[in-house]
Amino acid sequence: MDEFGTVTEYKELRPANLYDVAANETWLEDLAREGYRLKGFTGWSGVFVKDEPCECRYRMQPKGKKEKAPPVEQVELYRELGWEY
């Protein structure tokens, strides 16, 4: 948030090909430690919002081409396990 209370976004190019899962997960975790929370992806860039620095783990999961998100049941299971999709 800036001095006017507006949420500001930050974009950064992914450090590796999408198929290099370990490099991308580490990159996201490093940015979380710096206080940037992933909002989503656009092309080769991650879109982040400024947040409190935190220690967290990211895990990437493949999805089908037409799938926008995992099934509701799976997201609920993630939540029960303490994960955020």
Q: Are 82 and 76 in contact (CB under 8 A)?
A: no
Tokens of 83: 């994960």
pLDDT value at position 43?
87
Given a cut of 80, whether residue 4 has pLDDT beyond it is no
Condensed to tens digits (0 to 9), the pLDDT of residues 29-83 reads 999 999 999 998 888 999 999 999 999 999 988 877 888 888 899 889 989 998 8
Element holding 9 (H helix, E strand): strand 9-13
Element holding 46 (H helix, E strand): strand 45-50
